[in-house]
Amino acid sequence: MIRTLEQFDAYVAAEKKIEPKDWMPDGYRKTLIRQISQHAHSEVVGMLPEGNWITRAPSLQRKAILLAKVQDEAGHGLYLYSAAETLGVERADLIDDLLSGKAKYSSIFNYPVLTWADIGAIGWLVDGAAIMNQVPLCRCSYGPYSRSMIRVCKEESFHQRQGYSIMVELMKGNEAQREMAQDALNRWWWPSLMMFGPSDKDSEHSSQNMTWKIKRFTNDELRQRMVDMTVPQAECIGLKMPDKDLKWNEETGHHDFGEINWDEFYNVLAGNGPCNKERLAVRNKAHHDGAWVREAAVAYAKKNQKIRA
Ligand code: FAQ
């Protein structure tokens, strides 16, 4: 068991996991609660844009796949709230912070889902970005978070493939379907790149969190990987990336790409994206409408305790 800062530093340096009962610096605990809870909120709010399309999916098979995906996201939220609770916070307090608008969740879920192709683009790009960011988190120094990421990443891989498969099908279709796929890529590409967070020079937490081995790569490193992975996938099915500055750089062995609209990013973070208010209103209503379920669960647990006593 870790009891001192020296032991903590030695554990992190030796790639050993920090566990809930170990001593840890206050800042380490605080940043983990912040990141894990924001991650949990993102999974939960992330169900909303796709949930709207379950009844509109074009076939029974697509409906079943989308339903399973959305259920997976709920599960991810639950593992992550549990992981956050191991750090000494109450889930109810974290959820209150989400519902009041105090806590952040990923910017990406504040964009509207206008067509079926958007569901393809979300799986392909949003889950693609999520995997790119979360595979390194499987090696995070905090045990409960790293272990939860292993299962989450397996499920995200399936999500990414289902999204790409929707795009492949649409690109094999008629002119209108191909246009729909291209339009979805045009609208989702830049917000997906924003998922990786501010550029390294503006990222306040990166440096310390890299030292603590919570983060393994910087925001810009992961964003570059995302671009390099996605460009050939788009080309392969005949989609055009919506970036006039995008080009392969022989010298660096990476793609150069255009500047992200950081004003848009910070505007969404400030609560002014196209769907921020709608998303929070829906979550608040669901929480309010579900009050009787929570009350019933507590009453049932109390009844069982009495029977056992
Ligand atoms: N949106 O100093 P940094 C998913 C905030 S899950 C909103 O660089 P950090 C699955 C950041 O929190 C998607 N806020 O921060 C799915 C900080 O604010 P604070 C979520 C953002 O933590 C798919 C401030 O800006 N994934 O998609 C964003 O070192 C499909 C300064 O930034 C995770 O949460 C943003 N995009 O790096 C579900 C992964 N970017 O707290 C349904 C875990 C930054 O000081 C359907 N999280 N901020 O007020 C992480 O890896 C990190 O937290 C980063 C940010 C990389 C997101």
Q: For the chain, how long is the longest CA-to-CA vector?
A: 72
Burial class (CB in 10 A: 0-12, 13-18, 19+), 29: middle
Is residue 241 within 8 A of residue 231, CB to CB? The reply is yes
Q: Which residues neighbour 1 within 8 Å (Cβ) at sequence distance 6 or greater?
A: 21, 22, 23
Our mutation pick for probing the ligand 1 site, out of 106, 111, 145, 210, counting the most ligand atoms within 8 A of Cβ, is: 106
Q: What is the DSSP letter of 290?
A: T
> Which pLDDT score, from 0 to 100, does residue 307 have?
85
- Quote the percentage of the chain above a pLDDT of 70: 100
What is residue 213's predicted lDDT score, i.e. its pLDDT?
Answer: 98
pLDDT tens string 246-277 = 999 999 999 999 999 999 999 999 999 999 99
Structure tokens at 167: 């795009």
125: which strand partners?
none
* Nearest CA-CA partner of 280 in 39, 103, 127, 126: 103
Alpha-carbon dihedral angle through residues 225, 229, 234, 237, given to the nearest 10 degrees:
180
Rounded to the nearest integer, the mean pLDDT of the chain is 97
pTM: 0.96
Q: Is the confidence at residue 124, as pLDDT, over 90? A: yes
Convert the pLDDT of each residue in 274-306 to its tens digit: 999 999 999 999 999 999 999 999 999 999 998
| Alpha helices by DSSP H, the chain | 5-13, 26-45, 47-51, 60-85, 91-100, 116-121, 127-134, 143-171, 175-194, 206-211, 219-236, 262-267, 276-289, 291-308
pLDDT at position 298: 95
Amino acid letter for position 302:
K
CA of 300 to the centre of ligand 1 (A): 37
- Beta-bridge partners for 248: 255
64, 71 Cβ separation under 8 angstroms: no
Q: Which residues pair with 255 in a beta bridge?
A: 248
Taking Cα atoms as reference points, which of 129, 130, 21 lies closest to residue 76? Answer: 130
Distance 36 CA to ligand 1 centre (A): 9
Provide the β-strand partners of residue 256.
247
Which residues does a 6 A CB cutoff place in the pocket of ligand 1?
34-35, 38-39, 42-43, 46, 73, 104, 106-107, 122, 126-127, 130, 133, 194-198, 203-206, 209, 215, 219, 269
Cα 12 from Cα 268, distance rounded (Å): 35
Q: What is the DSSP string of 240-257?
A: --S-TT-EEETTTTEEE-
pLDDT digits (tens, 9 = 90+) for 175-220: 999 999 999 999 999 999 999 999 999 999 999 999 999 999 999 9
Residue 309 has pLDDT above 80, yes or no: no
pLDDT tens across 32-86, in order?
Answer: 999 999 999 999 999 999 999 999 999 999 999 999 999 999 999 999 999 999 9
Alpha carbon of 76 to ligand 1 centroid (Å): 15
The mean pLDDT value for 232-250 works out to 98
pLDDT for position 161: 96
Task: Report yes or no: 191 and 265 within 8 Å, Cβ to Cβ.
Answer: no
Q: What is the pLDDT of residues 1-26, one digit of tens each?
A: 899 999 999 999 999 999 999 999 99
pLDDT computed for residue 308 by the predictor: 83
pLDDT at 117: 98
Q: Which atom of ligand 1 is nearest to the CA of 222?
A: 56
Q: What separation in angstroms does the CA of 7 have from each of 11, 25, 28, 33, 291? A: 6, 11, 14, 21, 44
Rounded distance, CA 111 to CA 226, Å? 20
